[in-house]
A and B are shown apart, each in its own frame.
Chain A
Amino acid sequence: MLSGKLFFDYSIPKTLLIKLSGDWRISAGLLSVDEVTSQLIIHPDTAQINLSVSQDLKWDSGLLSFLFKLIRESGRKNIPVACGGLPQEAQRLLALALKAHGANTLSVAASKRDGGGVPDPLNPARKPREPFLERSGGKALQISESLAAGLNFLGDIAVSFLRLITGKSYFRPEDFMLIVQRCGVDTLLLVSLISLLVGMILAFVGSIQLKMFGAQIFISDIVGIAMVRVLSAVMTGIIMSGRIGASFAAELGMMQANEEIDALRTLGISPVEFLVIPRVLALVMMMPVLTIYADLMGVLGGFIISVGMLNLNGIEYLNHTQAAVKLSYVWVGLIHSLVFGVIIAVAGCLRGIECERNAAGVGTATTSAVVTGITGIVIATAVITFICQILGV
């Protein structure tokens, strides 16, 4: 519903008088400048535009944005617009907007001249969309750069770890213990719930097939082997990635944004030694412990379903589990968990340290930490499984 009205008057030769009336407020909608430009096409000899307003005119930025566009359009055609007929306040605001517009146009032109096409990082202009090949090439380069950054970071961690072992680095035990608590005790409930349920689900799914052969007792084998070899570690890894990896990234990201990491650097403290090493160590230490715990909870889940719903004998179930699960399977599970611990902690800390210095950057870093963590976990699982297959473990 547009209630702003335009009247065109050509009573003076070569001059277009535009009379504005009605409601020109934003709430009433914005009128397009096209009507005026088509008038200029019909009357190509127009050399001057005058504006006048009626008594009943209601206006706010709606009118101003129309006039701002009109003045710029007619400026392009070298037709001056006389604003003398507008309300005083509107004239002042328009003059202000046009002054800033003029200055910006000039400075954009100047920066293009000075910078030779190099974008100003403090005032980035919207870039035109690059062609598909260029974009995919850029993405590929980005991936290789981020891999290189990851490897660099791992190298830094290794060096800092060596310094820690040789007693040359600064280590705060109280910080470390707090992180251990967060990675360990504080996640116990979540790990219990998820592993118990995964054990139960496995038992249920297994029972559907095994029942047909009257071989329900082998549910214990399925649950035991699957949980101990890989599932406990993977489930714990995913939980920790979402909970701990994300929190590492958010913490370090906020510290980056608040210049806390700069403050460490200027004091000669390596952020990797001070912030990353305790986090990586704590998580790598807690992951195997949590995985063993998740193994037990998974077996318990299978036990509950088998004994409670499928009427298997409890002692028999446990004996069967014990026979099926070899010690080597436990080691395989523990190796998974150690590798996952490193992946999650490194991904979280790296994303946090790389974080841009704003709130959106912290959000992106957190998301990216979880995505990197989980992707890393899946890839590592595939690699370890493949290696175990070759080694015959």
Chain B
Amino acid sequence: MDPTTQPVIEVRDLDLGYNDYIVMRGLSFSVNKGDIFMVMGVNGCGKSTLLKSLIGLRAPAKGKVLYNGKSFWDEDETGQQNIMRRFGVLYQGGALWSSLTVGENVALPLQLYTKLSSRQIQEVVALKLSLVGLEGYEDSFPSGISGGMRKRASLARAIALDPDIIFFDEPSAGLDPINARKLDDLILELRDGLGATVVVITHELASIFAIGNNSVFLDAESKTMIATGPPNVLLANSNEQRVIQFLTRGADLPVNNGHIG
């Protein structure tokens, strides 16, 4: 990987908000090709709002999001759709289309954006489902499979078109430790296999250290990012108390005070 190449995602001076209310301001960071980039922060700090602006669902209050040098929010609708077509998104709850079977969910992006015959599509669907360990579940409906399986099926849909960038919104939420670990491994394998860049919104420390090679920390109190860099480096070198507190699960908080903030 050539580190001198242009970043895949570049966020410049981004302000996020709802109407007049600013949730986060002054975000600037970049994500390079092949990164597994962690967006970290405590509950309610604006991680999901940032994700929405990254994947084109909510325009930021100010600033730019550049994909390979193209400013997403300055593009026209067709330009935006062309960029979005290169994304795969794994939503927190899976967000599988409930009226379609698992197989149809994975097949839909292929039907829309490729010229494959329905038989070829079935073959690709079978491949994608086996990549996430769900071979044979083509005809199940999302309501008939477990939460972990829904997440994996949704991942199969996210990688249906071999995306350049895969976004994960709290991938380990609601998963047991074993399945969370398996999902981490899967993320690594898909990144290597597809050559994709991965952005993970999370506060799961185990995942952050296991797979993240770069990160940004959003701080709820100052309403901006207060650190960026590889998680291990941040843990070792950061001077920000709240970053250290987050990365050490509040190790410096008084023990047994019983208060959940």
Show the binding face of A for B, using Cβ within 8 Å.
92, 96, 99-100, 103, 114-115, 118-122, 170, 175, 254-255, 258-260, 262-269
CA distance A110 to B20 in the complex (A): 17
B180, CB-defined interface residue at 8 Å: no
Q: Flag B78-118 by CB within 8 Å of A: 1 or 0 each.
A: 00010011010101110111110000000011011100000
Q: Which residues of B contact A260 (CB under 8 A)?
A: 95-98
Tell which of B85, B93, B257 touches A258, judged by Cβ atoms closer than 8 Å: B93
* CB neighbors of A among B19-43 (8 A): 19-21
Interface of B is mostly: loop
CB of B259 within 8 Å of the partner chain: yes
Q: Is B177 an interface residue (CB 8 A)?
A: no
CB of B261 within 8 Å of the partner chain: yes
B21 proximity list for chain A (CB < 8 A)? 115, 118-121
Give the distance to chain B from A100, nearest Cβ to Cβ, in Å: 7
Contacts of B109 in A (CB 8 A): 267
Instruction: Tell whether, in the assembled complex, residue B57 and residue A263 are in contact, meaning their CB atoms are under 8 Å apart.
Output: no
User: Closest A-chain residue to B85, C-beta based?
Assistant: A268
Per the bound structure, the CA–CA distance linking A114 and B109 in Å amounts to: 44
B56 part of interface (Cβ distance < 8 Å): yes
Q: How many residues of B contact A (CB 8 A)?
A: 32
How far apart are A275's CB and chain B's nearest CB, in angstroms? 9
Q: Are B261 and A103 in contact, with the CB atoms below 8 A? A: yes
Complex contact A263–B89 (CB within 8 A): yes
Given A96-B258, A259-B91, A266-B84, 10 additional A-B pairs, CB 8 A: A92-B258, A96-B259, A120-B21, A170-B111, A259-B92, A259-B93, A263-B157, A266-B57, A267-B109, A268-B113
| A267: B residues at CB distance < 8 A | 84-85, 108-109, 112
Given A103-B261, A258-B93, A266:B55 Cβ within 8 A: yes
How far does the Cβ of B259 sit from chain A's closest Cβ, in whole Å?
Answer: 5
Partner of B20 from the list A118, A255, A263, A264 (CB cut-off 8 Å) is: A118
Q: Is the CB of A263 within 8 A of B112?
A: no
Report the separation of the CA atoms of residues A96 and B84 in the bound assembly, to the nearest whole angstrom: 48
Interface: B193 (CB within 8 A): no
Min CB gap B9→A, angstroms:
15
Residue B144 CB within 8 A of the other chain: no
With contacts A260-B97, A260-B98, A263-B91 taken as known, whether A268 is within 8 angstroms of B44 at the C-beta atoms is: no
Interface hub of A115, A170, A267 (most chain B Cβ within 10 A): A267
* A266 vs B85: C-alpha distance when bound (angstroms): 8
B157 contacts across to A, CB distance below 8 A = 263
Which 8 pairs show the lowest CB-CB distances between chains A and B? A259-B95, A268-B81, A263-B95, A259-B91, A266-B89, A121-B18, A260-B95, A118-B21
